[in-house]
């Protein structure tokens, strides 16, 4: 899988020490250091092992159901073209990650990591989860390979994502509700790290997003890059050229980096990452760490974080549990500072509106995370010419979110 | 001689930890010194103390809930230094509050407050550039952690650029939970002492004078944290007397261990 990159490639990072410019790195307690050095060593071996990727590809095809379609969204295209100025309103495509087994892109990464776990001889799996999508995907691969699995989930999220909690239990996982902090994703990650540090000898931590200590941001990105690689082939097949613009939601940022990364060296492809703007980035209730935060160190990496002047981490807010995190993956921080990707916040209200529009226009119920990406369409379709090609990553399906949406709309189920 | 050298020259030393801003910190620190603590670790509270068990997590939350700022921690440290000119003082915490205004700022504040050393849980040797050079430039010791997972190949990297003492985390885990077997501690300390000239202090899961005495027979220092922090939780602003009592029992056990 090692490929030759062009000179000055934007895809050459992280460097040997795990940094993307000033971001990334390995900021972990000494107990974990030897383990993540081992993980890196094992990943380097796997990268060059055709058998590893043959097994990965076979599972992607027959267990996950890949490739996921690149779908032309005709009514969405018409809807926004009608509202756009004359000559504007690009063709809108959806990358249908929500059609994957378990209903989101998360499974791509879990397959890759559990194969690594088994190569390393680890016999137990742990993971953190916010919305529960990563927890479900981890529990799924743990069941598939017969390894015991413990999922750490903030007690607040356990409450607002009950269907996913039950799914994880059906899949044989133990779900541990975390009661520290705001009891959401950040706190779940703290407790997963605490458990891991006490069980490093036999336990593999499947981190759910392209964040954490090196080599996690790199390997999660590599496993998720299947999204962008497929999009590239599929668009060439359908339109005979590359897309002009890519849009994806960024919580930790794994679906976004997966879509963006294979296109970073194609300067004609523009990219927009959508941060969760919550009640608005001028309030204290949002999760837009690039727009409203600054660089700092948390959970093993240096990246943009929501924090106060003393470096205390502040609580994030988003209607989408999967975006409710005060940081993001370090490669996004680097892509932000380098200017290659434009990051924009979208509020809860905008996401809710886009959620409903997608349901009624395309017959697709998107995850609230993906609805944030869809909410960038009013702006982007007004700017892009009608012969342009726009791809939205529909990273997950919204069945898990219908209770949250019903509550926000004042509907009692 | 540095304050660390003096403290460890007298035989096995008692190193005590409490979280800054939790309870009446100044009175509690005085109680630790009066009880016979040889080295003081003052915890800088952080919202996300990933390496800590419940006792110290809760102490962090209590301190932050009272509005404790980084400026308050340095004020506590400076006042301690004025009252206790000879007792080594270590700030212990997590990277983000230490680097948020730049490592040079942090190191200069440590120097101004009379802090002797810094333990940063989540900056391993691989990321030393984040904090180490700034501390060394101010003459502040960077105290590193060695753990049961630190093998012989890795140990030189851990020792490089560290000074004051080496903190041996005797269990792979978080603070205040399990305790290590005495034989595994003895093996580890022997290995660490063979590789280094600086004193080796052993911590994590040490709660009683008996445990402390056994460890002090082989190590240069014994670190006690969660057991003391539990007393602050239990007694609130009136924790000084019980802290003095436990510290005194620990100090007696350690100082007479050999």
Is residue B41 part of the annotated active site? The answer reads: yes
CA dihedral A189, A191, A192, A196 (to 10 degrees): 140
pLDDT at A165: 95
Using CA atoms, how far apart are residues B35 and A103, in angstroms rounded to an integer? 60
Indicate whether A144 and A247 sit together in one domain.
Answer: no
Q: Does A167 touch chain B (CB under 8 A)?
A: no
B51 and A197: CB-CB below 8 Å?
A: yes
Rounded to 5°, angle at Cα B165 from B163 and B169? 120
What is the tally of structural domains in chain A? 2
| Structure confidence by residue, pLDDT tens digits, A133-187 | 899 999 999 999 999 999 999 998 898 788 899 999 999 999 999 998 778 888 9
| Structure confidence by residue, pLDDT tens digits, B192-223 | 999 999 999 999 989 999 999 999 999 999 99
Among residues A198, A220, A242, the one where a domain terminates is A220
Answer whether 0.90 is exceeded by the pTM. yes
A386: in domain: yes
- Domain extent, residue A172, equals 19-62+105-220
- Whether the pLDDT of residue B9 is over 90: the answer is yes
Indicate whether A43 and A164 sit together in one domain.
Answer: yes
Q: Chain-wide mean pLDDT for chain B?
A: 96
Using CB atoms and an 8 Å cut-off, which of residues 303-322 of chain A contact chain B? 305, 307, 309-314
A8: in domain: no
Indicate whether A189 and A295 sit together in one domain.
Answer: no
B48 and A181: CB-CB below 8 Å?
A: yes
**Residues with Cβ within 8 Å of residue A172, at least 6 apart in sequence:** A139, A142, A143, A148, A149
Q: Does A3 touch chain B (CB under 8 A)?
A: no
Using CA atoms, how far apart are residues A119 and A367, in angstroms rounded to an integer? 33
- Whether the pLDDT of residue B177 is over 80: the answer is no
Residue numbers in B near A31 (CB within 8 A): 147-149, 169, 172-173
The residues with which B120 forms a beta bridge, in sequence order, are B93
pLDDT at A163: 87
pLDDT at A2: 58
The token duo for A32 is 């974990």
Given a contact cutoff of 8 angstroms between Cβ atoms, the answer to whether A27 and A297 are in contact is yes
A310: in domain: yes
| Structure confidence by residue, pLDDT tens digits, B138-151 | 999 999 999 999 99
Which of A38, A311, A326 has the most B C-beta neighbours within 10 Å, making it the best mutation to test the interface with B? Answer: A311
Q: Which carries the bigger pLDDT value, residue B234 or residue A5?
A: B234
Indicate whether A264 and A162 sit together in one domain.
Answer: no
Among residues A205, A220, A235, the one where a domain terminates is A220
Other beta carbons less than 10 A from residue A310's beta carbon: 20
DSSP SS3 for A153: strand
Other beta carbons less than 10 A from residue B238's beta carbon: 12
The token duo for A184 is 């959401």
Tell me: domain B3-255, CATH 3.20.20.70, correct?
yes
List the end-to-end C-alpha distance of chain A, in Å, as a whole number.
49
Q: From the CA of A152, how many Å to the nearest CA of chain B?
A: 14
pLDDT at B5: 97
DSSP SS3 for A346: strand
- Whether the pLDDT of residue B251 is over 60: the answer is yes
Indicate whether A209 and A90 sit together in one domain.
Answer: no
**CATH of residue A187:** 3.40.50.1100
Indicate whether A39 and A128 sit together in one domain.
Answer: yes
List the end-to-end C-alpha distance of chain B, in Å, as a whole number.
24
Nearest beta carbon to residue A30 from set B48, B146, B173: B146
Residue A158: phi and psi, rounded to 5, are -55, -40
Indicate whether A73 and A138 sit together in one domain.
Answer: no
Using CA atoms, how far apart are residues A341 and A271, in angstroms rounded to an integer? 5
| Structure confidence by residue, pLDDT tens digits, B37-73 | 999 999 999 999 999 999 999 999 999 999 999 999 9
Indicate whether A347 and A260 sit together in one domain.
Answer: yes
The residues with which A327 forms a beta bridge, in sequence order, are A305
Summarize the confidence of residues B176-195 as an average pLDDT: 90
Of A401-405, B18-22, B234-238, the range with the lowest mean pLDDT is: A401-405
Among residues A220, A248, A278, the one where a domain terminates is A220
Minimum Cα–Cα distance from B62: chain A residue: A181
Indicate whether A133 and A34 sit together in one domain.
Answer: yes
Spans of all domains in chain B? 3-255
Task: Report which DSSP code applies to A63.
Answer: I
Indicate whether A233 and A373 sit together in one domain.
Answer: yes
A298: in domain: yes
Using CA atoms, how far apart are residues A190 and A317, in angstroms rounded to an integer? 18
Indicate whether A142 and A246 sit together in one domain.
Answer: no
Residue numbers in B near A26 (CB within 8 A): 124, 126-127
B173 and A26: CB-CB below 8 Å?
A: no
Indicate whether A198 and A138 sit together in one domain.
Answer: yes
Please give the distance of CA A231 from its chain centroid, rounded to a whole number.
Answer: 16
The residue ranges of chain A whose pLDDT is under 50 are none
**Residues with Cβ within 8 Å of residue A413, at least 6 apart in sequence:** A402, A403, A406
């Amino acid at each position: 899988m090692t490929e030759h990159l062009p000179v000055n490639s934007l895809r050459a990072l992280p460097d040997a020490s795990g940094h993307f410019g000033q971001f990334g790195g390995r900021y972990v307690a000494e107990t974990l250091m030897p383990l993540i050095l081992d993980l890196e060593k094992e990943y380097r071996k796997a990268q060059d092992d055709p058998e590893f990727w043959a097994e990965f590809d076979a599972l992607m095809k027959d267990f996950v159901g890949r490739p996921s379609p690149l779908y032309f969204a005709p009514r969405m295209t018409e809807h926004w073209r009608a509202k756009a100025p004359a000559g504007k309103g690009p063709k809108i495509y959806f990358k249908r990650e929500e059609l994957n087994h378990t209903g989101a892109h998360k499974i791509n990464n879990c397959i890759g990591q559990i194969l690594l776990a088994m190569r390393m001889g680890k016999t137990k799996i742990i993971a953190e989860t916010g919305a529960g999508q990563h927890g479900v995907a981890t529990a799924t691969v743990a069941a598939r390979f017969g390894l015991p699995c413990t999922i750490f989930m903030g007690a607040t999220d356990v409450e607002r994502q009950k269907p996913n909690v039950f799914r994880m239990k059906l899949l044989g996982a133990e779900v541990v509700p975390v009661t520290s902090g705001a009891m959401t994703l950040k706190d779940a990650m703290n407790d997963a790290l605490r458990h891991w540090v006490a069980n490093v000898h036999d336990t593999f931590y499947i981190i759910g997003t392209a964040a954490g200590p090196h080599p996690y941001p790199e390997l999660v990105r590599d496993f998720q890059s299947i999204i962008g690689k497929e999009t590239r082939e599929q668009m060439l097949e359908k339109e005979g050229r590359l897309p002009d613009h890519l849009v994806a939601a960024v919580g930790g940022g794994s679906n976004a980096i997966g879509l963006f990364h294979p296109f970073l060296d194609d300067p004609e492809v523009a990219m927009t990452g959508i941060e969760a703007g919550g009640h608005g980035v001028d309030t204290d209730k949002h999760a837009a760490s690039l727009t409203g935060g600054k660089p700092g160190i948390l959970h093993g990496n240096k990246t943009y974080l929501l924090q106060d002047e003393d470096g205390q981490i502040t609580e994030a807010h988003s209607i989408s549990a999967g975006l409710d995190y005060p940081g993001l993956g370090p490669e996004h921080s680097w892509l932000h500072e380098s200017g290659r990707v434009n990051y924009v916040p979208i509020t809860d209200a905008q996401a809710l509106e886009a959620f409903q529009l997608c349901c009624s226009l395309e017959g697709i119920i998107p995850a609230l995370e993906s609805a944030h990406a869809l909410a960038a369409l009013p702006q982007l379709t007004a700017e892009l010419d009608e012969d342009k090609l726009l791809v939205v990553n529909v990273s997950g399906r919204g069945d898990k979110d219908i209770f949250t949406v019903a509550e926000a709309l004042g509907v009692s189920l | 001689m540095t304050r660390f050298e003096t403290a460890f020259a007298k035989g096995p030393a008692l190193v005590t930890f409490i979280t800054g801003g939790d309870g009446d910190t100044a009175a509690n620190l005085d109680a630790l010194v009066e009880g016979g603590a040889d080295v003081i670790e003052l915890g800088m509270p952080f919202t996300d103390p990933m390496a800590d068990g419940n006792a110290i997590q809760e102490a962090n939350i209590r301190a932050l809930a009272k509005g404790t700022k980084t400026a308050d921690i340095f004020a506590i440290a400076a006042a301690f230094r004025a009252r206790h000119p000879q007792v080594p003082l270590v700030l212990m915490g997590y990277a983000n509050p230490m680097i948020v205004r730049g490592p040079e700022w942090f190191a200069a504040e440590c120097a101004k407050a009379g802090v002797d050393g810094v333990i940063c849980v989540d900056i391993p040797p691989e990321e030393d550039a984040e904090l180490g050079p700034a501390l060394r430039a101010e003459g502040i010791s960077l105290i590193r952690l060695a753990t049961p997972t630190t093998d012989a190949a890795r140990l030189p990297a851990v020792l490089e650029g560290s000074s004051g003492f080496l903190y041996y985390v005797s269990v792979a885990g978080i603070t205040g939970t399990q305790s290590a077997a005495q034989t595994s501690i003895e093996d580890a300390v022997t290995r660490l002492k063979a590789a280094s000239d600086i004193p080796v202090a052993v911590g994590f899961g040490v709660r009683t004078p008996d445990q402390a005495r056994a460890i002090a027979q082989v190590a240069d220092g014994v670190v006690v944290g969660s057991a003391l922090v539990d007393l602050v939780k239990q007694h609130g602003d009136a924790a000084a007397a019980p802290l003095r009592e436990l510290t005194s029992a620990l100090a007696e056990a350690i100082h007479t261990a050999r």
